[in-house]
Amino acid sequence: KPPMTLDGVEYATALFRALPTLFPSPAAPPKKLGYAIEASLHVFQPTEDPTIYLQKRPHSSPNLLFDGSNCFIAIGTTPITTFIKEDLSEGLLYLMAY
């Protein structure tokens, strides 16, 4: 269960951000990334457009994207699947499935 101070979405986001410190990689993340998890998880700011983000930063591996109300998995510039924000905690399973 998430701590009482965090709702499910905040808890899942905090967990995803902590994963690289729990399971460190010997390879350094790309210089443009602030956190290693940003390579597979991106939380959009209210002013960001998901379509423009995907066009600017296409990835060959699956990425979990969260816009505040919905989550989706994208590979390259193509969204593959969407799901509700309450299922964000299952997002890592979705990433592993793709």
pLDDT at position 31:
61
Over residues 17-61, the pLDDT tens digits come to 776 666 666 666 556 555 555 567 788 888 888 888 888 887 788
Contact 72, 94 (CB under 8 A): no
- For residue 71, with 0-12 CB atoms within 10 Å meaning exposed, 13-18 middle and 19 or more buried, which class applies? buried
- 78 forms bridges with which residues in the sheet? 75
The span from the CA of 66 to the CA of 84, in Å, is: 10
pLDDT at position 61:
81
Q: How confident is the model at residue 4 (pLDDT cuts 50, 70, 90)?
A: low
Mean of the per-residue pLDDT values of the chain: 76
Q: What is the mean pLDDT of residues 3-22?
A: 70
